Amino acid sequence: MANHKKYWKSTAELDSNNAFVEDLKGREFVEKLPEDVFLGNKQAMNDSKTNRRDFLKFVGFSTAAASLAACEGPVHKSIPYVVQPEEIRPGISNYYATTVADGFDLASILVKTREGRPIKIENNPDNPINCSANARVQASVLSLYDKLRLKGPNRSGTPVSWTTLLEQSRQQLDKLQFEGAQVVLLTQSFASPSTYDLINQLLTRYSNIKHITYDAVSYSHALDAFEKAYGERVLPTYDFSKAETIVSLDADFIGDWQGGRHSADYVKTRVPLKKNGKAKMSTHFQFEANMTLSGAAADKRVPMSAAQQKQVLAALYSELTNSQASGDQTIQKWAKVAAKYLRKSGKKGVVITGLPSVEAQRIALAINQELGSIVIDTQHTTTIRQGSANQLTQLVDDLNSGLVQGIITVGVNPVYTLANGDQFAAGLDKVKFSLSFSMNNDETASKAQWVAATPHYLESWGDVEFKTNYFGLTQPTIRPLFDTKQFQDVLLSWLEKDTNYRDELRTYWEQNILNGESWNKALHDGFHVHEKPIKKKNYSDSVSDALDTLASSEQDGYSLQLYTKTGLGDGQQANNPWLQELPDPITRMTWDNYLTVSKYDAEIIGLWNETQSDGALNGGFAKITVGSSSLTVPVLIQPGQANGTFGLAFGYGRQAGMKSEMQTGVNAYKLYNNFSTVQPVVIEAIGGTHEFACTQLQNTLMGREDIVKETTLEIFNTKDRNYFNAVPVVSKNHIETLVTSPEVDIWDQFDRSVGHHFNLSIDLNACTGCGACVVACHAENNVPVVGKREIRKSRDMHWLRIDRYYSSQETFEGDNDTVNEISGLGESLTTFSSLEEPSANPQVTFQPIMCQHCNHAPCETVCPVAATSHGRQGQNHMAYNRCVGTRYCANNCPYKVRRFNWFLYNNNDEFDFHMNNDLGRMVLNPDVVVRSRGVMEKCSLCIQMTQKTILDAKLEGRQIKDGDWQCACSKACSNGAITFGDINDKTSRVAKSLESDRMYHLLESVGTKPNVQYQVKVRNTETS
Amino acid sequence: MVKSGDPQAVAIYEEYNKSVMTAFPQLSNEDIDNILAYTDYTPPAPAIPAVVATTAASGTDDTTSTLLLGVLVLVLVVLVVMLFLVTQTLRKIAIANGIEVETSKPKRKPLWKVYINNSFLVFSTVLFLLFSSAYFAYGYMMQVGIDQGYMPVQPIHYSHKIHSGANEIECKYCHSSARVSKHSGIPSLNVCMNCHMNIAEYNGEEDLEKGYTKEFYTNEIKKLYKAVGWDEDNQRYTGETQPVKWVRIHNLPDFVYFNHAQHVDVAGIDCQKCHGPVEEMEIMYQHSPLTMGWCIDCHRESNVDLENNEYYEKVHAELSKKYGVEKLTVAQMGGLECGKCHY
């Protein structure tokens, strides 16, 4: 056995003194049944007015009443169309290609609509560049049905008609132009050629209007650096599939860095495929302060503060150019190691950085120039981020000084997202004319004089330039739900043009982009590539000054590292319950943001976390002060956090236009001074206890540590399967027999060789933990949202969860002997804990877990009513209408994947999320039933999708190809970490992956024979 | 006439985008006269008075029988009273004459006491009652939620008997999505207008007993025009629509997935197999119980239609070898698995 690592899920687990954790490990259920509360209290029992007899009477009466009430069926009305649109057939989904570009996320997507309602977002597989949907884009369909969206235009809260708004606003603009007063048009980064064309027309007509672009999370430094080096204020693009060595300094490129979307390309170099018996992987160094998705995926993650990273960058540049790495020993060591790999890879190496420093960005560009990197593309650039930090600072001053007399905001919420949002709000009160284009009555809209209600992107037209020469189109997939108008249509009205934006867009495309090709084709595909020659951008920058600045950067005291979380991003969709309930991939936390601290710092400052006896997590509070502003935030001790640094996520703490349940966390933008994600900070511990809703210590592994298997690339290349991925053996008549052998099986095998036999394969190497599959599963299967209170009680309903395991590499080798001497489970639990100290820098493994669809399923044998049974095609079926809610199945499931409906989650005011209003329920998938209270539910391997595939094939009278089989999760995973198919089709990908050396099943020794395969994680650890 | 310059003719010619009316050269003048005569003909009014007369007659019959019954009951009551009075008078006379009337009969055990003392009898009766009530209760419970024969009143009296029966319109002409989708679909009103643009009144058979006269049916067509916004006089759509709120007859629970296309198109089952003799239904009703047992029975018996369907080729070859049969039932193909219909 190659792998004797200890996997753990929170620092508390490593603390051998923590009695709670030990207690939890010994118990299968975190909650103790509260029978003592009433049975133990004799007095209360005797005093109780309701005796057993009364109780029986009530039961009898309610049963009789219920059955009487059930006798009369409700009358259902069916209302057909008067004129049915040709393309709509009830019961059949239509797909439309469109593009989302909300200023933060960008994706080329297919929208699934049923009877005219968009119900799901899927990736557009035909788009030549990777623009797949992340968790937020997957969830954005629910934001369309947000009950709190603006229903129409208003003036200071009073509804007005569009005619009034359009006329009055134009009069105002005319008047301000006549007065010569400046008006600012503050917009998001559109990256939309046709919109910019319209804005330019507006600027020509009104010479007093100034256009300022603003990104809530700024990339101003990177833009400025690129402008200095290449003469254009744009961002370069990257193709990580060409990379051999990636050195990232604080750039979470698997997360949201520069708009995200890099992970699919990156993963192509991370899956070891053996060619001539040898597999290759790229090498990935990550220097960072917070634990990010990129850090989790890295081969070598080095936790360090931003100042140290700058020094590493400077040293790396010096080492690469003249082999003279500067700085102290650690810095030099890492610079030399990274430089060695970069040199070896040559043009296949790349250095990227997310440090908020123009100098650092320039050095990174200089290194890539030096390497001649082909990973970075400085010619095909992108304009998805254009915001300028300086212009914004100036704007706030101008608003307050009275220089700017009118302001129009489009798609931005500066009152919330600016560090000095209060000053911006004060400025808004002073101007003569303020107009906000917004979907929600957010902080800025509620302060503006006029509010123009805008449609959701699924109701809008639009276009976007992904990168130079690559264009995308946005088309409406539903008629506007409310009385809304697009910004572009309002622009046309101000320009007194008698057209609408759709026609204008088409004309613009036909004249400038399509180059004679069909508009309908571009609209159908959702994208268009127009290969026209690009004006070459040449590198010209001398970085010696920048080098000095970086090399001499020092950190005094603590620094705060602001970041965006997978769930909420910049906070635009904070009112989306799917995103609020999506566990953060790293911390497994829902419904909150928090200050991440290292264990070392926590002990010094006196910050704490505590696991309650029921498995819920509590944390203390910290007061963090940056400059003049301070916030009180709950604390989470984060393994891998660089000492002296603290992390805090943007996007939370929104109040205006939000449901009270969604007003979670604190607003980190208040500390985002000068648009720098790194801030000097003063931290002090303060009293109080915060209750987290964390899915972390719940459902412990009971010491079954072989659930995650991993090995190194070296072992993978040199040793055979039995070394790194041995099948467990059991003793039968003192002969060691493989658990997969029928000899040791207590069940008979069922012949599954006929027909389809579905398998799901999960590649632990390709999974970056991004969470897109979790949201896709919610959308496809009508999984309810249960809220923070219930999650805290470990009653989450996620059918698919992504478990995150930490492991400590440093103790890897020496432990083997000790581990071999352990006998028995009890000893292993205590010995493991004493083996390792909580590692400052753990390795991370993500493991998506859903129902394993065991061929010998333990759940099926214990169901008293046969509500769960096995299908011939390998799925473990769950008949909800048959379930009586005994929960035996969940108790007997070794993987803990069954979810119980403790309450009625739809039409229930106690759970006031999307399923509690008609608008929100429009997102439900009509092919999947909405479960009621008291029944068990779980992953069905999206049987509605496989059935649809089969039924379609029968209708068309054809065989089914491998790629036709899909689950919601496999479809959502652009990394290819999840593959679904039929193993009886020997040419299918899952049939091949079943034969792979890396394939294993979870808890194989239990003998459940699951239909979900996992591929052993291979790490490229030769760097250490 | 246009060529001759008739002003009215030219105006009409211009109005209809210069299209010429079909000339019908095959019709002679006599034919045309006949057609005109036919269209001017008004059918004689049906003999309604006769109907009224018959109802009146049957009404008098009823009254006579009730009267007779009343008289009989009265006579009986009088008899009973008289008898009672007679016995009382006799008794009084007897007492007056000093004759003792023997009132008590020899003591015999009452039947109910015998019964109660016999524990076997009591036990078997109780058992019988228990079982029979359980049987009836079960029967009653099992039909809860089964709406076989459900025949709601619809907003427009649409007769399948006329459309599907008399006119022999194919079911899937209107319920077209049954071919491709899980829903059979209630046809949208524009489908109705394909024919009813030209059929404004009913001229078929009548069922006078139930009041289904020609006027009645024509009136229903008018309801359609109102719903779809068709201006009959000017032969154009007004755009004012009122979608029809049909009452849904076949209600499957939400937790059941049923796909029409699979049964109609893939399996080639006649609509009538489940929906009954629709072509004879004046008012549509639920023919089948739509219970799970009913589904399962059919899945056990029916063979899968494998003809010319490439999808089944391989599966069929392997499965029929496995089961050693020539034809496979739906159940053998896995049609009884829970997850096939419940998800």
**Which ipTM did the prediction report?**
0.80
How many structural domains does chain B have? 1
A21-25, A195-199, A612-616: segment of lowest average pLDDT = A21-25
Q: Between chains, do A76 and B247 touch, taking CB under 8 Å as contact?
A: yes
The reply to whether B151 touches chain A by the CB within 8 Å rule is no
Report which of B196, B200, B195 is spatially closest to residue B233, judged by C-alpha positions: B200
Pair A793, A906 in one domain = yes
B189 contacts in A (CB within 8 Å)? Answer: 80-83
Residue A597 confidence class, pLDDT cut points 50, 70, 90? very high
Q: Do A755 and B318 touch (CB under 8 A)?
A: yes
First-to-final CA distance of chain B:
70
What is the mean predicted confidence (pLDDT) over A35-56?
71
Position B39 scores a pLDDT of 66
**Which of A451, A508, A503, A457 minimizes the C-alpha distance to A480?**
A457
Using a CB-CB distance cutoff of 8 angstroms, which residues of chain B are in contact with residue A946? none
- pLDDT of A915 > 50? The answer is yes
pLDDT of residue A2: 47
Question: What's the rounded mean pLDDT across residues A705-715?
Answer: 82
The mean pLDDT of A709-731, rounded to a whole number, is 85
Predicted confidence at residue B57, as pLDDT, reads 40
What is the per-residue pLDDT for A613? Answer: 76
Q: Is A806 helix (H, G, I), strand (E, B) or coil?
A: strand
Query: Domain check: are A375 and A397 in the same one?
Result: no
Answer whether residue B102 is part of any domain: no
- What pLDDT shows up at residue A997? 87
Q: Would you say residue A835 has pLDDT above 50?
A: no
What's the pLDDT score for residue B26?
A: 60
* A596 phi/psi in degrees, rounded to 5: -90, 130
Of A486, A510, A540, the last residue of a domain is A540
The residues, any chain, with a CB within 8 Å of residue A54's CB and separated by 6 or more, are none
Tell me the CATH number at A689: 2.40.40.20
Q: Which of A346-355, A720-729, B102-111 has the lowest mean pLDDT?
A: B102-111
Sign of CA dihedral B27, B30, B33, B39: negative
Partners of residue A863 on adjacent β-strands: none
More confident residue, A491 or A532: A491
Same domain, A461 and A429: yes
pLDDT for res A530: 86
Which tokens in the block code for residue A219?
Answer: 């990339």
Please check whether residue B296 touches A, CB under 8 A: no
Identify the residue with better confidence: A324 or A293: A293
CATH number for the domain spanning A511: value is 3.40.50.740
User: Does the structure show a pLDDT above 70 at A703?
Assistant: no
Same domain, A807 and A896: yes
Tokens of A62: 């309610």
Q: How confident is the model over A958-984, as pLDDT tens digits? A: 888 888 899 999 999 999 999 999 998
Is A36 part of any domain? no
CB contact under 8 A, A76 and B254: no
One domain for residues A674 and A602: yes
Can you give the pLDDT at residue A83?
85
- Classify residue A459: in a domain, yes or no: yes
Number of domains in chain A: 4
> What is chain A's mean pLDDT, rounded?
86
pLDDT of res. A576: 92
Smallest Cα distance from B241 to chain A, Å: 7
Residue B311, domain member (yes or no): yes
pLDDT at position A829? 44
Q: Return the bridge partners of A256, or none.
A: none
Of A79, A944, A947, nearest to B245 by CB-CB distance is A79
Q: Give the closest-approach CA distance of B11 to chain A in angstroms.
A: 33
Query: Looking at the partner chain, which of A73, A83, A957 has a beta carbon nearest the beta carbon of B308?
Result: A957
d(CA A190, CA A171): 26
Whether A545 is in a domain gets the answer no
B56 φ, ψ (degrees, to nearest 5) = -65, -45
Residue A825 has pLDDT above 70, yes or no: no
pLDDT at A71: 58
Among A540, A574, A606, which residue terminates a domain?
A: A540
Task: Judge whether A669 and A416 are in contact, CB under 8 Å.
Answer: yes
Domain-embedded: residue B307: yes
Q: Which residues of A856-884 are buried (b: 16+ CB within 10 A; e: fewer)?
A: bbbbbebbeeebbbbbbbbbbbbbbbbbe
Are A868 and A988 contained in the same domain?
yes
Per-residue pLDDT reduced to its tens digit, A221-271: 999 999 999 988 999 999 999 999 999 999 999 999 988 889 899 999 998
A545 CB neighbour count, 10 Å cutoff: 10
Are A762 and A893 in a shared domain? yes
Residues linked to residue A636 through DSSP beta bridges, in sequence order: A596
- Domain match, A238 and A98 both: no
Residue B336 belongs to some domain of the structure: yes
Smallest CA–CA distance from B189 into chain A, residue: A82
User: What residue spans of A495-618 are helical by DSSP H?
Assistant: 501-512, 519-525, 544-551, 577-581, 599-605
- Kindly state the greatest CA–CA separation across chain B: 129
Position A8 pLDDT exceeds 70: no
Q: Are B254 and A930 inside 8 Å of each other by CB? A: yes
Q: Hey, are the CB atoms on B310 and A882 less than 8 Å from each other?
A: no
In a domain, B5, yes or no: no
Best of A71, A84, A868, A967 to substitute, by most chain B Cβ atoms within 10 angstroms, is A84
> Residues A511, A560: one domain?
no
How many C-beta neighbours within 10 Å does residue A194 have?
24
Asked if the Cβ–Cβ distance from A871 to B339 is below 8 Å, we say yes
What's the domain range around A833?
Answer: 7-18+699-1019
* A295 inside domain: yes
Rounded Cα distance between A133 and A121, Å, is: 8
Asked if the structure places residue B89 within a domain, the reply is no
Q: Which residues of B touch A89 (CB under 8 A)?
A: 177, 180-181, 185
Residue B327 belongs to some domain of the structure: yes
What DSSP letter does each residue of A963-995 carry, written as one string?
Answer: GG---HHHHH-TT--EEEEETTSTTSHHHHHHT
In this structure, is residue B144 part of a structural domain? no
Query: Among residues of chain A, what percentage have pLDDT more than 70?
Result: 90
Nearest to A927 among B145, B186, B257 (CB): B257
Burial A398-437 (b: 16+ CB within 10 A, else e): bbbeeebbbbbbbbbbbbbbbbbbeebbebbeebbbbbbb
DSSP A842: -
**Six token digits for residue A751:** 């012949």
Nearest CA in chain A to B226: A82
Our CA angle for A571, A576, A578, nearest 5°, is 115
Across the A:B interface, residue pairs with CB atoms under 8 Å apart total 153
Spell out, as residue ranges, where chain B has pLDDT lower than 70. Answer: 1-7, 9-28, 32, 36, 39-63, 101-106
Look at residues A328, A354, A382 and tell me which one is the last residue of a structural domain. A382
Neighbouring C-beta atoms of residue A498, cutoff 10 Å: 7
Structure tokens at A79: 């209302």
- Confidence category of residue A408, pLDDT binned at 50, 70, 90: very high
With CA atoms as reference, report the closest residue to A417 among A148, A660, A140, A654.
A654
**A999, containing H or E segment:** strand A999-1000
Nearest CB among A90, A755, A869 relative to B177 is that of: A90
For the record, the structure tokens of A270 come out as: 């991370």
CB contact under 8 A, B337 and A871: yes
Using an 8 Å Cβ cutoff, are A895 and A1002 in contact?
yes
Range of the domain at B340: 291-343
Cα A460 from Cα A410, distance rounded (Å): 14
Answer whether A881 sits within 8 Å of B259, measured CB to CB: no
What CATH number is associated with residue A370? 3.40.228.10
DSSP assignment letter at A498: S
Task: Answer whether residue A59 is part of any domain.
Answer: no
Among A376, A141, A161, smallest CA distance to A248 is for: A376
In a shared domain, residues A857 and A1000: yes
Strand order in the sheet with A349-353: A300-303, A283-288, A245-249, A349-353
Q: Which amino acid is at A283?
A: T
Residues A369, A400, single domain; the answer is no
What long-range pairs does A814-822 form, CB within 8 A, spacing at least 24? A815/A4, A815/A5, A815/A6, A816/A4, A819/A4, A820/A4
CA dihedral B262, B266, B270, B273 (to 10 degrees): -50
Q: DSSP class of residue A860?
A: H
Q: Are residues A377 and A392 in the same domain?
A: no
Give the whole-angstrom CA distance, residue A604 versus residue A884: 52
> pLDDT: is A286 or A17 the higher one?
A286
- Beta carbons within 8 Å of A128's beta carbon, 6+ residues apart: A470, A527, A529
B101 vs A699, more confident: B101
The closest alpha carbon to A875, from B259, B337, B182, belongs to B337
